[in-house]
Amino acid sequence: MPSDTFSTAPVFEGRLHPLTIAFGLLKAGRSLIYIIPLIWFGNKSYGLPLLMLIVTSAILTTLTRYFSFSYRIEGNELITQQGLLERKHRSIPLERIQEIRVEQGLLHRLFDVVDAKIETGGGGGAEASLSVLSRAEVEHLRQAVFERAAKIRADAGQTTAAAQPQGVAPERVVILQLSLKDLFLIGLTTNHLISALALAGALWNFADDILPESIYRRAGNYLVRETERLIAQDVATTIVLTILSIVAVVVIGLVFSIAGTIIRFYGFTFSRSGEDLHRRYGLFTRRSSSLPRRRIQVLKIEEKMFRRWFGLATLRADTSGSHRDNEDDDTGRDVLVPIAPRSEIDGLLTTFFPDFDSDQAEWRRVSRLAIRRDVVKGAIICALIAALSFVARRQAISLWPLALLPVIWFVSAARYRHLGYALGEHYFRTRRGWLGRSTHIVPINKIQAVEIYQSPFDRRLGLATLSVDTAGQAYTGGGPQISDLPVDEARVIARTLAHKASATRFRW
């Protein structure tokens, strides 16, 4: 589309950084590494021209991309343009822009350039990807976008409670910083086995790429042979070895997860300027993102099993644009606060929801039938196991599963005590879980729908499960949900929530 159809003059114009070419070529070169052996060992008379073709096309694409790509803010839109023959023109309404995410790998940091990704509430991934830009330029772009978006909203007559004075860049206040000690603690309390496996997998892949096959095959054979020899010796040695190897796996897992956490969250800084929340973290690849706080749809305070013992919690958020793409899964995008004492997180809540403090509704419990139901469920399972083992060996001792009944009662009661909800003026909170507890907080004006669900068992006891639907539930495990409510109470809550939500305005 020719740009002269627009009456408004562009406010902000920019191009990619010249280093785009270098980075583009580097990326193309990296993907070539996989092809080279193929061509080398294949037919050389075909391979060489093919290689040339690939290289030239890579160079051409990179050059075209650099010379044809431009972006600008025009009127109420951010416009990106790309392509020589076929011009791609994309316009993104400014007030839909959720977040400008910035990533900086090691090489990027050397030259002080970044990859910027622009996200909207669409949920289909980044709307536009600007790679690479200088860091100063991204800062300018970010400021221009969010200032203009705020102005557009103000012009549209939408009253924002904490509107920023125009033209004055609000000061950035650091709210939370994580020290190495905090990161160490996170690593220590995460599920280390999984991260160890992931890392081992990555290492294996790496070894697969680098080392010739014969070496690690020989190493594997050697390991198997040695183990067989040891097992053949005697039982005591085997037991000791097994225990030792389990300990080793755990220790290695811990080391890996601590290292992984430090690499991911090193230098975590959480700050706020006006309505925008900023995060910056990462040891090698530095990531930073800013997010207007009204985009937060649901907050989840997660107290996992080990962390709850230390009084620690994690804060996660769903924004209306959240979605999981596989490559981005592990970058901690949803984590607002990786770890902090629970009391500190409670104090932080007003940072996300300014009027939260005046909204402290009392926690309510669900029906006590929840205990009975859990005990019955557990008892049936115990009785089945006991019956089976009694059939197998007709001795009184095989009825031992029945001794677990008091434990079941205790667990059910504990679970009941932690199950609850609080319905305030502007916020709805639910919490669940005993060993690991999670608390969801949803602003009532972000509620999209409320659902009450009754299984046949629920109906017999007159209970129901209530769940709240919001936009972009991807990270917080399905949003606020509370089971074992008396059905009449569930109906009243649902009606109250729906009516209150309907009386408010939902903005992206």
- The binding site for other proteins (CB under 8 A) comprises 121, 320, 364-368, 371, 413, 416-417, 423, 447-456, 459, 469-474, 478-479, 486, 488-489, 491-508
* Cβ closest to other proteins, residue 470 vs residue 483: 470
* Cβ closest to other proteins, residue 376 vs residue 402: 376
Nearest to 110 by CA among 23, 29, 15, 180: 23
Smallest separation (angstroms) from other proteins to the CB of 318:
8
Query: Do 462 and 452 form a contact (C-beta atoms < 8 A)?
Result: no
Query: Secondary structure of 257-277 in the HEC alphabet?
Result: HHHHHHHHHCCCEEEEECCEE
Which is it for strands 70-74 and 77-82: parallel, antiparallel or unpaired?
antiparallel
* Cβ closest to other proteins, residue 96 vs residue 192: 96
Smallest separation (angstroms) from other proteins to the CB of 165:
25
Query: Do 6 and 74 form a contact (C-beta atoms < 8 A)?
Result: yes
* Cβ closest to other proteins, residue 273 vs residue 496: 496
Q: Please, which residues have CB within 8 angstroms of residue 140's CB and are 6 or more apart in sequence?
A: 12, 14
CA atoms within 13 Å, Cβ hemisphere of 74: 19
Report the interhelical angle of 44-68 vs 19-41 (nearest 10°): 170
Q: Return the SS3 of 473.
A: coil
d(CA 217, CA 226): 14
Query: Do 280 and 267 form a contact (C-beta atoms < 8 A)?
Result: yes
Identity of the amino acid at 75: G
**Sheet strands side by side (includes 364-365):** 335-341, 312-319, 296-303, 437-443, 427-432, 420-423, 364-365
d(CA 372, CA 463): 12
Smallest separation (angstroms) from other proteins to the CB of 353:
19
* Cβ closest to other proteins, residue 225 vs residue 368: 368
Smallest separation (angstroms) from other proteins to the CB of 360:
16
d(CA 409, CA 411): 6
* Cβ closest to other proteins, residue 377 vs residue 495: 495
Smallest separation (angstroms) from other proteins to the CB of 430:
15
Smallest separation (angstroms) from other proteins to the CB of 364:
8
Smallest separation (angstroms) from other proteins to the CB of 309:
22
Nearest to 67 by CA among 21, 27, 112, 10: 21
d(CA 404, CA 411): 11
Residue 437 pairs with which residues in a beta bridge? 303
* Cβ closest to other proteins, residue 109 vs residue 491: 491
Q: How many CB atoms lie within 10 A of CB 263?
A: 14
Smallest separation (angstroms) from other proteins to the CB of 70:
29
Smallest separation (angstroms) from other proteins to the CB of 447:
7
Smallest separation (angstroms) from other proteins to the CB of 295:
12
Query: Do 14 and 72 form a contact (C-beta atoms < 8 A)?
Result: yes
CA angle 96, 98, 100 (to 5 degrees): 120
* Cβ closest to other proteins, residue 218 vs residue 499: 499
* Cβ closest to other proteins, residue 277 vs residue 423: 423
* Cβ closest to other proteins, residue 44 vs residue 507: 507
Rg (CA), the chain: 29
Locate 332 and state its tokens: 């901690």
Smallest separation (angstroms) from other proteins to the CB of 382:
23
Q: Return the SS3 of 186.
A: helix
H or E segment at 347?
helix 342-352
Smallest separation (angstroms) from other proteins to the CB of 508:
6
* Cβ closest to other proteins, residue 185 vs residue 494: 494
* Cβ closest to other proteins, residue 190 vs residue 412: 412
Place of tokens 């709850």: 308
